[in-house]
Amino acid sequence: MILNLLKFLIVSFFIFLIPIPTAQASNSFNTDYSVVYTATENGSTHAVLNVTLTNISSDYYASSYKVQLGFDTINNIQASDPDGPINPIIEKTDDGYVLTLKFNKKVVGLNKKLNFNLVFDTPDVAKQYGNIWEINIPGIANPDEFGSFTVEVKVPPSFGKPAYTKPYQPLNSLVFDKKQLGKSGISISFGDKQIYSFHLVYHIKNENPYPIDTEIALPPTTNYQTVFIQNINPRPQNVLMYKDKNLIAHFSLLPLQKMDVYVDGKVDIRLIPETEELSAQERRKYLEEKPYWSTTAPEIKKLAKELKTPEAIYKFVVTTLKYDFTRVTGDKPRLGAVNALKSPDSAVCLEYTDLFIALARAAGIPARENNGFAYTENSRQRPLSLVRDILHAWPEYYDKQKKTWVMIDPTWGSTTGGVDYFSTLDFDHFVFVRKGLDSDYPVPAGGYKFISDKPGKDISVEFAKSTPRQEVNFSIVSSLPRMAMSGLQITGNVSVKNMTQNLIPPQIVKVTSADLSPNEQLLQSPAIPS
């Protein structure tokens, strides 16, 4: 009798997460979960957890159970077993909540089952961001400890069909098993596009005793996004479509003149990229070695030969590099692909991006870099390395079969514990500049700061409901003026050359109507009067 009582206490202690070997519990019970999340249009989600504990030993029974919930807020908590209600003991932690359930019913005997349930409401599962509804459900810390774990998600008809599910579900099914849930959890999005309004500030100045021409990079229209510029103040002399179809606005500065340029506009972000066919000659340019993207280093060549495909390279980068949060505010130099391999535990978004690009190019896959804004509400799971102005970096590769550039995010694939940012990205990535023909040019918005400037935020991006009816008209020219950017300091982890007069060659970029999308053709209107 004393021996049996001791065994009951051991089980109770184990359920309380007292460090007793896991093998003892797994040899005594099978645990099966069936969870249903029902989202509502007001943002609240009702969760129902049905749990079955099955005795696989005649020597133990469970007198209590402890469950950890990874949500910031839960309410209306109720629990019960076959003998009636259970009054949960609730503990708030840094990771969410821990609930302790003391059972009314004692189930003893081999193969005997104890069924109990837990219900609660939370605002942390379904959230509306602008035009998009997102559902995010945390994964399982230790999937192997459960016999089965099924999650079903129910949404109102007004949400429509999912734009994507992560992990991918055929036929828009919203039922997930233990393997699919995994440690990374579930992410589902509803909507066809996201719209942001933006306000950008660029600081430029001339420290010379003579006039100069200088530049800023405006957010471009890409195969994923359409940009509507509504205001540029002061107005530029002209706008050039330069390398990688970046939009470069030119300004003339008088001797010792300092100028702040304000740019306002909107952008709509699509999930599916438009086609953008590249010629064989153009594709070869995106295979070239550049600073930070070494394609000839022995370790890069060896890995590229083994990995071969974009997906294999993505998975290698995600699992090899580890995000280093200490580097975010440390102003440490950009490592580049080779040094990222040498220091895999000290990576931020640029290292994930550089390593993917170098391996892809070495494997014969055109690839390049994006810098810009990425919306996140969880800086631990979806960090932004360039925190002073909420900047992020991510790569894209060219898919010959789909005839388009495909954006991916290995950084967030790593920091979320395996959420798929390869097959489908999201509505959260807004490109400011693209870098492919040059690995550190042009400078994205948020990078136009000077050493003497007080710390400030130069990027503001908010959700918007609709795109504008009218935008600023300006001309795209086909020649590049002389550049002078004296005393410019680039913040964060985007490394850019300080440019002096004539450092950038006066390359001719011929742009015709046939080369432009309908939105870009709007920019061919007469030049803005000075």
Report the phi/psi class of residue 156: left, alpha or beta, with left for phi > 0 and alpha for psi in -120 to 50: beta
Both tokens of 281, joined, read: 């000659």
CATH architecture of 272-426: Roll (3.10)
For 463, list phi and psi in degrees, rounded to 5.
-70, 145
Going from N- to C-terminal start, the domains of the chain cover 2-191, 192-271+446-530, 272-426
Domains 2-191 and 272-426 fall in the same CATH topology: no
Both tokens of 519, joined, read: 């939105």
CB 240, CB 523: distance < 8 Å: no
Residue 121, SS3 per DSSP: strand
Which parts of 190-335 fold into alpha helices (H)?
280-285, 298-307, 310-320
CA 336 to chain centre: 20
Half-sphere exposure of 443 (CA within 13 A, CB side): 24
The low-confidence residues of the chain, meaning pLDDT below 50, are 1-24, 385-387, 477-530
- For 184-196, write each residue's pLDDT tens digit: 899 999 999 999 9
What value does the CA radius of gyration of the chain take, rounded to a whole number of Å?
27
- Is the entire prediction scored with pTM above 0.75? yes
Q: Return the CATH fold of 2-191.
A: Immunoglobulin-like (2.60.40)
Quick one: angle between helices 310-320 and 298-307, nearest 10?
120
Alpha-carbon distance of 253 to 237, in angstroms, equals 11
Q: Which helix (H) or strand (E) holds 175?
A: strand 175-176
CB 105, CB 81: distance < 8 Å: yes
pLDDT for residue 108? 85
Q: Which helix (H) or strand (E) holds 518?
A: helix 518-521
pLDDT for residue 7? 38
Peptide bond into 442 cis (omega under 30): yes
Alpha-carbon distance of 153 to 175, in angstroms, equals 6
What DSSP letter does each residue of 101-119 carry, written as one string? EE-S----STT-EEEEEEE
pLDDT for residue 312? 98
Count how many residues are written for the chain: 530
- For 43-96, write each residue's pLDDT tens digit: 999 999 999 999 988 887 888 898 989 899 999 999 999 999 999 999 999 888
Alpha-carbon distance of 199 to 260, in angstroms, equals 13
Alpha-carbon distance of 367 to 310, in angstroms, equals 10
pLDDT for residue 318? 97
